[in-house]
Amino acid sequence: MKSLWSYRPDCEIENVSFDEDYLVFSSGSSLYCLDADARKIIWKKRMTTTFYRDPFSDVSITALDAKGPMIAAGTNFMDGKIYLFTKTGKLLWEHQFATIASLGWRPEDVTAVGIGDNFVAVGTEFIGEHIYVYTFKRERMFHKRVNGTVRAIAANRCLAVGTDEKLYVFEPDGRERFSITAQVTDVKITETGILTSSGNRVYMFSSNGKELWHKSFDCEIKQLYCNGRIYAIAGKRVVVMSESGDILKDVELEGSPVGIGGSGILTLDGNTLKMYPLP
């Protein structure tokens, strides 16, 4: 399969997320925004801790999500914040999550972020694991304690949260619709229901938690995407399925897939990003 474009930055890529016409990636404490058409960095931001004094300033960006005009970035315990930017680089707000420990307050690790139509969800951990949901104006909608590290968040007409122990589905007001024991690697909300991956399996659940079908593969499924069809990243392959679980295509990729969305499949080959069309 021929790539649509490639880009090699001057820094090591750690996390990446993208939408139709732009891409964001992190390297250490720095966040970069790439114009996908021009393949040029249009802005860069560096996160610095406001909690610890030097030399404790090694902030790491641990979570990213880009959707439409919004970008959410989360940082590790050296900072423990979520930052909400516009895709033009304007910082709308930041919020720090901290927990009282034996010697006082300590920031939490942000493990996942997810952008909805008018809200952003954040998974954190330190003493316990949590999910927080805020409007784009920084008004808290709800907060829930969850079991396990939050790995994936999908936001649409409901909120689906995947941890390394359970899958949770919440209503917009915070009521729990259902939960299922599973080591979730990714989760998406589709027209049919809740799509999730756990180990080497992909599951489709109805809106009330009934299993509709599952498929097993020969390796771990780490990423999912749905646009009427289902795309599952299996190692260096992308498997295309119908929403009823029928396998339509199985395509080998060059490089390691690091993202999939409406723009295509993003791989990292060495330190070079390559975008491939959806098969």
Per domain, the residue ranges of the chain are 5-276
Mean pLDDT over 6-23 rounds to 93
Scan for tokens 């009521």, then name that residue: 175
Q: Please report the pLDDT score of residue 156 as a whole number.
A: 84
Residue 21 in tokens: 């016409």
What would the pLDDT profile of 186-245 be if each residue is shown by its tens digit?
Answer: 999 999 999 999 999 999 999 999 999 999 999 999 999 999 999 999 999 999 999 999
Beta bridge partners of 115: 120
CA-CA distances (angstroms) from residue 275 to 21, 175, 198, 240? 12, 39, 26, 17
At 27-51, the pLDDT tens digits run 989 999 999 989 999 999 998 877 7
Using CB atoms within 10 A of its CB, is residue 21 exposed (0-12), middle (13-18) or buried (19+)?
exposed
Beta strands at 30-35 and 22-27: parallel, antiparallel or unpaired = antiparallel
Residue where the block lists tokens 């034996």: 102
In the sheet that holds 256-261, the strands lie side by side as 5-7, 272-276, 264-269, 256-261
pLDDT at 58 over 90: no
What is the Cα 87 distance to its own chain's centre?
A: 16
263: Cα within 13 Å, side-chain hemisphere: 21
252-255: long-range contacts, CB 8 A cutoff, minimum separation 24: 253/1, 254/1, 254/3
For position 53, what pLDDT does the model report?
A: 63
Phi-psi region of 98 (alpha: psi -120 to 50; beta: other; left: phi over 0): beta
- The model's pTM is 0.93
Residue 265, pLDDT > 90, answer yes
Q: Which fold has domain 5-276?
A: Methylamine Dehydrogenase; Chain H (2.130.10)
